[in-house]
Amino acid sequence: MRTETLLIGDRHITTADRDPFAVACPATLTPVAMVPTATEQDAYDALETASAAFNQWRQATASQRSNLLLKIAARLDEKADMLGRLMTEEQGKPLAEAIGEAEFIGEEFRFAAAEAERLNGEILPAPALDVDRFVRTEPAGVVVALPSSNYPAAIAARKISALLAAGCAGVIRAPEEAPSAAIFIVKTCLEAGLPAGVLNVLSGNPAGVTEALITDPRSAMVSFTGSNRVGQIVLGHAAQTITPALVELGGTAPLIVGKDTDIGHVAPMMVNKKHENAGQNCAAPNYALVHRDIYDAFAEAYWAAAQSIRVGNGRDADVTMGPLVSAAGATAMRQRVDALRQAGATLHQADAGLPSEGHFVAPTLATDVPSTSSLLHEEVFAPLMPMVAFDDIEEAVAIANKSPFGLAAYAFTGSQWEAHFIARELSVGSLALNKTGVGDIDAPFGGYGQSGFGTEGGRYGIDAFLRRKFVSMRYV
C-alpha cells in the first residue's frame, strides 16, 4: 500500500505527523493508499507559505513562466503511465481511459505556456497630449483550488496550469476519494523547477480545511469544481470575506435527437459518451429527448450498443466501464432507478455478471419517461439514461430549459434551421451539435444558472486568475 505526503513549501507532511485516512479502490474496496489528514493549522501555514512565494513568483517574466510550464508538461508526459495507474487504482476508471487523461494534462500545461506569453494589458485613447491611459493585468494572488474526484488529474491540471500561467500561487485541496493525482501533479511541478511554496497541496478534513482556506484574508480567490450542494457551502465561505469565486457545479446535459438523425451512427456514439468514466462526468448527457417518429428505433439502437459495455475492475484489459467512485454514488443511482420505475418508466438494465464487491452499477436505459419528470433535471453522475419523446424542436428546447442547470448539451439534426434555433435558444454554456465533446482545450467551459459562474479553459480560464488595473497618468 502506498503512503502519500502532503506538501507545504518544501516541508513534507507524512502519516507519522498527522492522523492518516485510507483511500480504498472502488472496485475491490481494499485500501490502496494512506494519506495524512490536514489540519486547519496546515491550511493557515500553506496560505502563509504561498503568500510569501507569490511575492517572488509574480516577478517572473512571461517567458520564464512559459518555459517552466513547458518543462512541467514534458515531465508529466514521461510519467503518464504511472499517473494513469494511480487513477485507476483510486478512482476506478478503466486503465486506457485513465492513461488517456494522464496524457492529456501535458497539453493543458503546453497550452498555458503559450498563453502565458500573450498576457497583456491595453492602451486606451488619450484625452489630452500630456495624458496616458492604460490597463494593466496583474495576478490575483493566492488561489485556493478545489478539484473534484471524477477527473482527478485533468481538473487539477487545468486549475494549476492556468493559475501558474497568470503568475499566481496556489493551495490545492485534493479530493479525499482520489487525492493522489493532484499530489502527484504538484510534486512533478516542483521537480521541474517550480519554486517551493508556489504550489502547496493538502487533503483530508474537507470541511475544516476548506473553511479555513477560503475565509482567510490571504486567499485572493477560490476555484471549485464539484456538486451544487458543496458549491453552496464554498460560496457561503467566500461571501464572508468577499472572496471572488470561480465555481463549476455540474449539470443535467440534455441530448436532443432530431427525426432525421442517423440512428445507427449516433446511438453508439452517445452510448460511449454517456458511459465514459461510468457517467461521472458533469458534461455527460443526463437524459435524451428523442423525436417521436424515431423514438422506438433510437431506444432499440441505444440499448443494443449499451449491452456491449463490459463492466469490471478497470485494471482488466477488456473492461470498458469501471465502478462508481463511492458507495453514495451507487446508492443514489439505485434510488433514481426505483423512482423512475415508480413513475411508470420501463427499465432496461443488464446487471448480470456485475462483480459482487465494489461500487458497481449496471448501464441502464429508462424509456417511457414523462417529460414532466423532475428526475430529468437532477444530475445523475452515473450510467443511467432516461429517454423522453418530443414532437417538435421548440418542445424539446422548452423541456431542456426547465432545468435550473445549464452546463452542457448535445443535439443532432440535419436541419440547419433547427441547429441555429438550438444554438440560439438553449440555455447552456457549452453545446455540441452533430458531434460529441465540449471540453476543447482552447475553449471556455462554464455554465448558466445553478451550474455556476466563471469559466475555465483556454485563455478565458487564465483570465479568471488575473486582475485589471486602470492607470490614468499625466506627465509631470
| Contact status, residue 248 vs residue 282, Cβ threshold 8 Å | yes
- pLDDT for 119 equals 92
Q: Which of 25, 168, 189, 282 is catalytic?
A: 282
pLDDT at 352 exceeding the cut of 70: no
For position 271, what pLDDT does the model report? 97
Q: Decide: 254 and 289 in contact? Cβ < 8 Å.
A: yes
Is the model more confident about 250 or about 29?
29
What is the end-to-end Cα distance of the chain in Å, rounded?
Answer: 68
Question: 245, 226 in Cβ contact below 8 A?
Answer: no
Residue 80's nearest CA partner among 108, 116, 52, 55 is 108
Check whether 465 has a pLDDT greater than 80. yes
Q: Give Cβ neighbours of residue 416 (< 8 Å, ≥ 6 apart).
A: none
Residue 150 backbone class (left: φ over 0; alpha: ψ -120 to 50; beta: rest): alpha
pLDDT of residue 250: 87
Kindly report the CA angle at 215 between 233 and 468, in degrees rounded to 5?
Answer: 100
Q: What average pLDDT score do residues 240-269 get?
A: 96
> Which residues are within 8 A (CB) of 157 and not within 5 positions of it... i.e. 6 or more apart?
76, 105, 108, 109, 185
pLDDT of residue 476: 87
> Would the CA dihedral through 244, 248, 252, 254 be positive or negative?
positive
For residue 350, what pLDDT is reported?
A: 77
Residue 217 falls in which region: left (phi positive, over 0), alpha (psi -120 to 50) or beta: alpha
pLDDT tens, residue by residue, 31-47: 999 999 999 999 999 99
Active site residue 122: no
Asked if residue 94 lies in contact with residue 320, where contact means CB atoms within 8 angstroms, the answer is yes
Give tens-digit pLDDT for 134-151. 999 999 999 999 999 999
Domains of the chain: 2-249+451-472 (3.40.605.10), 254-440 (3.40.309.10)
Closest Cα partner for 327 from 88, 21, 24, 84?
Answer: 24
In this predicted structure, the answer to whether residue 199 has a pLDDT above a threshold of 90 is yes
Q: What residues contact residue 109 under an 8 Å CB cut-off, 6+ apart?
A: 69, 70, 72, 73, 76, 157, 161
- For residues 359 and 26, is the Cβ–Cβ distance under 8 A? yes
User: Is the model's pLDDT at 154 over the cut of 80?
Assistant: yes
pLDDT one-digit tens code per residue, 184-193: 999 999 999 9
- How high is the pLDDT of residue 30? 97
Task: Encode pLDDT of 159-188 as tens digits.
Answer: 999 999 999 999 999 999 999 999 999 999
Q: Which three cell numbers stand for residue 208?
A: 475544516
C-alpha cell, 139:
495576478
Q: How far is CA 282 from the centre of its chain?
A: 7
Query: Alpha-carbon distance 276 to 96, whole Å?
Result: 11
**Mean pLDDT, range 452-466, rounded to an integer:** 94
pLDDT in tens, 374-403: 999 999 999 999 999 999 999 999 999 999
The predicted model gives 49-76 an average pLDDT of 98
In this model, does residue 356 exceed pLDDT 90?
no
What confidence tens digit (pLDDT) does each residue in 66-88 have? 999 999 999 999 999 999 999 99
Q: Is residue 223 pLDDT above 80, yes or no?
A: yes
- Per cent of the chain over pLDDT 90 is 97
| pLDDT at residue 44 in the model | 98
C-alpha cell at 61: 517574466
25 is catalytic: no
pLDDT at 351: 66
The CB-side HSE value for 84 (13 A sphere, CA atoms) comes to 20
Checking if the pLDDT of 304 tops 90, the result is: yes
Question: Is 42 exposed, middle or buried (CB count within 10 Å of its CB: 0-12, 13-18, 19+)?
Answer: buried
Cα(355)–Cα(190) distance, integer angstroms: 40
- Which of the residues 115, 248, 379, 456 is marked catalytic? 248
